[in-house]
């Protein structure tokens, strides 16, 4: 495994769009996504074109690509960004063949580092569907701390669902 996590280029946003549009209804339900709420592909591309024109300090979202041997295997996104303060992250391994290979924990750890650096965050939250064991296990293994389980609509693609809220805080730098 030669995992690389980096900021996604605008030309790569179809990785995100295709992931959601190609997912089975069962998979979308597992991750808490309502298929009726998915934007049309061209509308989603137009949205990302707008996002990529914004300076990082004003972006609504930041996308990261996960590559294994230069092949896209997943992605992460941050939204609900309060630059310099906090954001919410999402994590997705894009194909079932790449799940359960041990990529997730390391990809999340590297994503956290990039989010802290790029967005100058103090805290990063993640709220996966409470009944989706894989991301909850991954977050715990990657160093996130459990906060609570509650019912909410986590985002514009989601239906009302129980979610587990996790947080990780930026390590404090030690003075020499």
Report yes or no on 48 lying in a domain: yes
Question: By residue range, what is the domain housing residue 76?
Answer: 3-169
Cα gap 80→89, rounded to integer Å: 9
Domain count, the chain: 1
Report yes or no on 175 lying in a domain: no
Report yes or no on 38 lying in a domain: yes
5-20 mean pLDDT = 97
Residue 113, φ and ψ in degrees, nearest 5: -60, -45
Tens of pLDDT, residue by residue over 78-109, are 999 999 999 999 999 887 676 676 788 999 99
Report yes or no on 174 lying in a domain: no
Cα gap 84→117, rounded to integer Å: 10
What CATH number does residue 126 fall under?
A: 3.40.630.30
pLDDT at 72: 93
Mean pLDDT, all residues of the chain = 93
Per-residue pLDDT band at 11 (split at 50, 70, 90): very high
Tens of pLDDT, residue by residue over 32-57, are 999 999 999 999 999 999 999 999 99
């Amino acid at each position: 495994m030669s995992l690389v996590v980096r900021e996604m280029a605008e030309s790569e946003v179809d990785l995100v769009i295709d992931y959601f549009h190609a997912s089975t209804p069962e998979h979308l339900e597992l991750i808490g996504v309502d298929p009726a709420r998915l934007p049309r592909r061209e509308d989603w591309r137009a949205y990302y074109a707008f996002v990529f024109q914004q300076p990082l300090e004003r972006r609504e979202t930041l996308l990261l690509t996960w590559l294994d041997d230069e092949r896209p295997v997943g992605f992460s996104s941050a939204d609900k960004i309060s630059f310099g303060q906090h954001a919410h992250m999402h994590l997705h391994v894009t194909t079932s063949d790449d799940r359960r290979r041990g990529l997730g924990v390391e990809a999340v750890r590297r994503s956290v580092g990039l989010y802290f650096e790029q967005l100058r965050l103090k805290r990063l939250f993640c709220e996966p569907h409470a009944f989706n064991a894989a991301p909850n296990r991954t977050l715990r293994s990657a160093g996130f701390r459990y906060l609570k389980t509650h019912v909410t609509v986590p985002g514009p693609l989601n239906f009302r669902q129980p979610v587990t809220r996790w947080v990780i805080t930026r390590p404090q730098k030690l003075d020499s």
